[in-house]
Chain A
Amino acid sequence: MYKIIEKRELNPTVTLMVVDAPLVAKKAEPGQFIILRVDEEGERIPLTVADFDRERGTVTIIFQIVGGTTERLNHLNEGEYIHDFVGPLGEPSHVDGLKKVAVIGGGVGCAIAYPVAKKLHQQGAEVHSVVGFRNKDLVILEKEFSAVSDVLKMMTDDGSYGEKGLVTDALKALIEAGNAYDEVIAIGPVVMMKFVSLLTKQYGIKTVVSMNPIMIDGTGMCGCCRLTVAGKTKFACVDGPDFDGHEVDYDEILKRASTYKEFEKREREAACNLFKKADGLQN
């Protein structure tokens, strides 16, 4: 059992939790993830390590409430416990030796992009961050990004905050302004990563993306998270989650991600109804 030390709402659908997990905190590196189960009947879901504190022995996770399990997770409060919390899993992001990098974060993907930007900043690299959200209400981690970035471009789809437009618009402008990046690191919705990769391919800039397919064990024993990279099958949980953005088959990933759509919809409704009932009893 893993105690929730801190819980904070970052926006109406995104929550941050600091979890007491000393062994995970001791080894975690940016780019790695954990698998958790909310309770004894729970499914196993992967979440990226958003931050860690080796001395306090804590790991920070940031999640968007999208289904039954994240709904249930969001109903746990400070002082309560997550049943299982395994990690760190996956390969850490390789950022050694990079001098100038564009870090692109989309939506809740910013929670994964942030620790990478932070590590790059700590090792003295010039970090240009481009973060995108649908609108102003959904913006998260602005202060954190600002603290580790030499340039920060805030984008919203509707222009309600920062600049109006997509992250690819801002990235294109930065590249055309003469910024020569060693690498572009893009983390967010699959469609966003696909279009960032298409853009950078034109300029021949190496691009790394972080994949988030369906997972169960997260240790390489089932192949549920498989994807095609450069024509070969890879397991995101052990070979990734980072891959060369120019080699990934995005369309296949988008298809596979929708496998349990119907089930997930039902599960979310079931979870919501459960909490509505519980709230009704309390009031």
Chain B
Amino acid sequence: MPNMSLKKNPMPSQEPGVRNKNFKEVALGYTAETAVDEAQRCLHCKNKPCIGGCPVKIHIPDFIAKVAAGEFEEAYQIIQQTSSLPAVCGRVCPQETQCESKCVRGIKGEPVAIGRLERFVADWHNAHSCDLPLKAEANGHKVAVVGSGPAGLTCAGDLAKRGYDVTVFEALHLAGGVLVYGIPEFRLPKSIVEKEIDNLKALGVKVETNMVIGRVLSVDELMDEYGFESVFIGSGAGLPRFMNIPGENLKSVYSANEFLTRVNLMKAYKEDSRTPVLHAKKVAVVGGGNVAMDAARCAKRLGAEEVYIVYRRGEHELPARAEEVEHAKEEGIIFKFLTNPTEILEGEGGMVRGMTCVEMELGEPDASGRRRPVEKPDSAFTIECDCVIMAIGTSPNPLIKNTTHGLETQKWGGIITDEHGLTSREGVYAGGDAVTGAATVILAMGAGKTAAEAIDEYIRGKQN
């Protein structure tokens, strides 16, 4: 008999007033009992629309049936067939627009908490299972993956499961891409990411850190000299944008990438960290995406008394996930909507003392269909702050484009591919933010998966 409760089992989490002072994970995860109970809400409907909403097509009702039966390791094995990073996805996917948006239970009441169940299963496996995964039989073909973010790791995992000899090249000293330098510890503990990467290594994936492809080695060298038959480029969109307003190069102005890299990758939030970060008292974060929310919540945890999100459109237009906005508000982040900075003001010793902004109103929809913000005349005012974080987006790093012969890109730097991820170069595939510009973790994973299939087909095709 299914559990007919209209509501999801709630996710236990740290109290807002407690968690905004530490970097421990906010959401605490289901217990075995709540997981089994929640799993019993799944109706196992015939057409399984939830699967259609998942970019990596996890067999959702099948794994949920195993959870309902208390067979958690079996549930993990089912997820693992199609997803390489379930502990990550269960945490950071926007399930409300993906799998859960298609759930039949969501028509009347709340959908089944697929993401929370996926997270529970992956955490359970990582805590309890000592079994090494079965390595696929080697097929003798070598593939290189450039970048160890969600796209690259997914592509690498899928290819390793098909028997390929896969090497992932990462520019930084730690693998994970945005999962380690971007998304903060309190949303995605770094030990979880490390464990997922260890799982991939156990499948046979090799990870080479400190390898800046385009400088140390080029894509052409990987193919011509090192014998990689195919290369997947998942180098992301890490180049920060600035607004080009006066005062942007003052001392306490950060790009969100710099601020988050210091805090997350270099662990500058720890007392004894050797990497410094400014602990400002009043912080203005410019932007309205998930990155802006992450930066604001980190600044609060570093001890800021006031943290503002400054966004030029209105609350409805915020690109961040609703849940992240909700969490930010609970933690005391102040939202300044329809506000656009025009100048950052210099204080003592080259630090920031404030930011001049103008009020905006929404005009006609622009080419992207969003209403264009227009400046209100004579509306300038100053926000007092001692630190500004620019979180207005990123674009693809030009390093690979500039050093790979014949690789076609869009004007704004995105690599041009067909629907299978094939670039203008034979054997070279690309996916994730390097192709689309800054998007989401799960879209990058979907692109990594699609490219892995195409690479497999391409290499098999060559043999015939």
Contacts and interface: CB of A to CB of B under 8 A. Distances in A.
A89 B397 CA distance: 14
A89 B403 CA distance: 13
Interface in B236-262: 238-240, 242, 244, 248-252, 254-255, 257-258, 261-262
Interface string A207-242: 000000000110111111011100001000010000
B46 interface: no
A224 B262 CA distance: 10
Contacts of A41: 272-274
B266 A23 contact: no
A134 interface: no
A87 B249 CA distance: 26
Contacts, number: 107
A221 B244 CA distance: 17
A221 B216 contact: no
Of B238, B244, B262, B276, the most chain A CB neighbours within 10 A belong to B276
Interface string A87-103: 11100000000000000
Nearest to A251: B350
Give the residue among B251, B272, B275 with the most A Cβ atoms within 10 A. B275
B252 A259 contact: yes
Contacts of A223: 240, 242, 255, 257-258
Contacts of A23: 211, 216-217
A267 interface: yes
A264 B215 CA distance: 30
A42 B275 CA distance: 8
B184 to A, nearest CB: 16
Contacts of A220: 238-239, 397-399
B240 A87 contact: no
B216 A24 contact: yes
B266, B272, B274, B276: residue with the most chain A Cβ atoms closer than 10 Å: B274
Nearest to B252: A259
A228 B253 CA distance: 14
Interface string B223-243: 000000000000000111010
Contacts of A279: none
B258 A216 contact: yes
B210 A85 contact: yes
B266 A260 contact: no
Contacts of A68: 274
Interface in B68-116: none
B17 interface: no
Interface secondary structure of B, over-half rule: loop
B212 A219 contact: yes
A255 to B, nearest CB: 4
B240 A43 contact: no
Interface in A236-257: 238, 252, 255-256
Given A220-B397, A228-B249, A258 B350 contact: yes
Contacts of B460: none
A85 B172 CA distance: 10
A198 interface: no
A33 to B, nearest CB: 11
A221 B212 contact: no
Interface residues on B, range: 35 or more
A84 B242 contact: no
Interface residues of A, number: 39
Given A44-B266, A217-B172, A222-B257, A258 B349 contact: yes
Nearest to B275: A43
Contacts of B411: none
A19 to B, nearest CB: 13
Contact of A260 (B249, B257, B276): B276
Nearest to A256: B251
Contacts of B350: 255-256, 258
A164 interface: no
A86 B278 contact: no
A41 B271 CA distance: 12
B64 interface: no
B274 A43 contact: yes
Contact of A37 (B173, B250, B261): B173
B399 A86 contact: no
Contacts of A84: 173, 209-210
Name which of A23, A43, A221, A226 has the most chain B CB atoms within 10 A of its CB: A221
A256 B173 contact: no
A87 B349 contact: no
A219 B257 contact: no
A255 B276 contact: no
A91 to B, nearest CB: 10
A43 B210 contact: no
Given A222-B258, A258-B349, A267-B274, A89 B215 contact: yes
12 contacts: A23-B211, A43-B274, A216-B275, A217-B261, A219-B397, A220-B238, A220-B398, A220-B399, A221-B261, A238-B398, A256-B350, A260-B276
Interface of A: 23-24, 27, 37, 41-44, 68-69, 83-89, 216-217, 219-224, 226-228, 233, 238, 252, 255-256, 258-260, 263-264, 267
Interface of B: 171-173, 209-212, 215-217, 238-240, 242, 244, 248-252, 254-255, 257-258, 261-262, 266, 272-276, 278, 349-350, 394, 397-399
The 8 closest A-B pairs by CB, nearest first: A255-B350, A221-B238, A222-B258, A263-B276, A260-B276, A43-B275, A86-B210, A223-B255
